[in-house]
């Protein structure tokens, strides 16, 4: 779904205005950005703090997502119960009026029979309920014409009993709903507080992640973090495994996002136009390979900050820039949907987001519109 562009997220190569009228060439800067060369699995093993902070961000994000899902289920249940309670209230009011009318009708019939000694007939030859009464001398005819009135009284009595039974059942349901709604309100308040708590901790962890990313850039050593096994924890490992099982060959680079700066944007923010599509996401959001392929380059500095380039089997390349942490290194085979990094705000960026490009070569300068490219492969943003 396309979202409103957020002006505060600036991404991709930008024009830097400093002294005189000197303009830095982002093409040169990108070309000069260091690339991490493939190495043995243990080479460039990340510091323990990187793994710990990365895992904590992912764990808290998963915990917050689950808490929000539980809260949403409680909210929907409470909404459904409120609607049912309102429906019961309307139904009970209607049935109360029906019971009142039945009692009045049954009472009128009983009083009429009492006045006539049990023989009540109407002038219309009916059951005595509608019109003036007449006196008949023939007892056989009196008995014959009394039968409908007796049956009517019995029928009114049965209807009244049934209405009272139904009303008692509905009133019991209404009382039960009131108790259940009270419990749901308490659950909602408790979950709301839990969400606020975990999101506060998550915000702190995201700050730590940004600090880790900046330290990596300062050192020129942007080593990938290994989330396999116990290093990340079972919840993170399960979430990563779920993301790597997309139903189709191509997928979005992030799951939940707002589209911000688009391809081809011009202005003071970019020298020569914006070369990708920006996805506004919080720092620490898992970034996924849009399709199967091999990581062929890893940047650690320059306008793109921490970045990865994936070569796909069809000859196209995808780039993922401004990352906080890479989760893959050059030479690694990746699947569509597999986590390859966490979003951040490294490089030429004024806010956390993912800068995503599709290129015909691995180098800067060969980009095409990524929204159209994904759309041609069945992926709608």
Most confident of the following: 38-47, 100-109, 354-363: 354-363
Joined together, the tokens standing for residue 289 give: 């390979």
Q: What percent of the chain has pLDDT over 90?
A: 43
Average pLDDT of 336-348? 95
More confident residue, 64 or 364: 64
Percent of the chain with pLDDT over 70: 69
Q: Check residue 129 and give its pLDDT.
A: 45
The per-residue pLDDT for range 188-227, each reduced to its tens digit, is 999 999 999 999 999 999 999 999 999 999 999 999 998 7
Q: Which residues pair with 287 in a beta bridge?
A: 341
DSSP secondary-structure letter at 122?
A: B
For the chain, the domains span 26-44+222-376, 74-196
Q: Name the residue with higher pLDDT: 121 or 89.
A: 89
Residue 229 CA to residue 248 CA, distance in Å, equals: 26
Tokens matching residue 298: 């890893």
131 with 124: CB under 8 angstroms? yes
Range name among 25-39, 215-229, 288-302, 346-360 with the lowest pLDDT average:
25-39
CA distances from residue 295 to 42, 177, 326, 328, 338 in whole angstroms, order as listed:
17, 56, 11, 7, 12
pTM of the model: 0.65
- 271 falls in which pLDDT band (50, 70, 90)? low
* pLDDT score at 354: 97
Report d(CA 319, CA 193) in Å as an integer. Answer: 39
* Rounded Cα–Cα distance for residues 211 and 49 (Å): 11
pLDDT tens string 298-341 = 999 999 999 999 999 889 999 999 999 999 999 999 999 999 99
Largest Cα–Cα separation, the chain: 125
Q: How confident is the model at residue 17 (pLDDT cuts 50, 70, 90)?
A: very low
Give the lowest-confidence range in 244-258, 277-291, 300-314, 347-361: 244-258
Fold of the CATH domain 26-44+222-376: Glucose Permease (Domain IIA) (2.70.70)
Q: Residue 110: pLDDT band by 50, 70, 90 thresholds?
A: low
Indicate the SS3 state at residue 115.
helix
Q: How far is CA 186 from CA 75, 80, 180, 183, 199, in A?
A: 11, 16, 10, 5, 20
For residue 276, give every residue at least 6 positions away whose Cβ sits within 8 Å of its Cβ, in sequence order, or none.
Answer: 11, 12, 263, 319, 321, 355, 356, 357, 358, 367, 370
Q: Is 241 or 276 the better-scoring residue by pLDDT?
A: 276
């Amino acid at each position: 779904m396309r979202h409103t562009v957020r002006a505060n997220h600036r991404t991709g190569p930008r024009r830097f205005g400093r002294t005189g009228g000197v303009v830095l060439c982002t093409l040169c800067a990108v070309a000069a950005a260091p690339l991490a060369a493939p190495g043995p699995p243990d080479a460039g093993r990340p510091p323990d703090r990187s793994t710990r902070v990365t895992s904590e961000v992912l764990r808290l994000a998963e915990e917050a997502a689950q808490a929000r899902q539980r809260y949403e289920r409680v909210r929907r249940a409470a909404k459904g119960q409120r609607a049912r309670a309102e429906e019961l209230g309307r139904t009970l009011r209607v049935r109360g009026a029906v019971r009142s009318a039945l009692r009045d009708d049954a009472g009128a019939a009983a009083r009429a029979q009492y006045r006539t000694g049990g023989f009540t007939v109407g002038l219309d030859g009916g059951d005595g309920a509608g019109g003036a009464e007449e006196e008949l001398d023939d007892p056989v005819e009196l008995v014959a014409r009394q039968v409908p009135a007796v049956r009517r009284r019995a029928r009114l009595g049965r209807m009244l009993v049934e209405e009272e039974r139904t009303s008692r059942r509905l009133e019991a349901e209404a009382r039960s709903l009131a108790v259940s709604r009270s419990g749901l309100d308490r659950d909602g308040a408790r979950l709301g507080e839990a969400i606020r708590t975990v999101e506060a901790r998550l915000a702190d962890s995201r700050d730590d992640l940004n600090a880790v990313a900046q330290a990596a850039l300062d050192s020129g050593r942007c080593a990938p973090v290994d989330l396999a096994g116990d290093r990340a924890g079972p919840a993170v490992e399960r979430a990563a495994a779920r993301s790597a099982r997309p139903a189709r060959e191509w997928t979005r680079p992030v799951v939940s996002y707002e589209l911000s700066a688009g391809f081809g944007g011009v202005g003071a923010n970019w020298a020569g136009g914006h070369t990708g599509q920006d996805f506004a996401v919080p720092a620490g959001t898992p970034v996924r390979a849009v399709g199967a392929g091999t990581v062929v380059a890893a940047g650690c500095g320059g306008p793109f900050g921490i970045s990865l380039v994936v070569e796909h089997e069809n000859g196209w390349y995808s780039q993922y820039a401004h990352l906080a942490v890479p989760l893959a290194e050059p030479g690694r085979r990746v699947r569509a949907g597999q986590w390859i990094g966490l979003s951040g705000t490294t490089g030429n960026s004024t806010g956390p987001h993912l800068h995503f490009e599709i290129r015909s070569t691995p180098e800067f300068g060969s980009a095409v519109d990524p929204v159209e490219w994904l759309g041609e492969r069945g992926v709608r943003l």
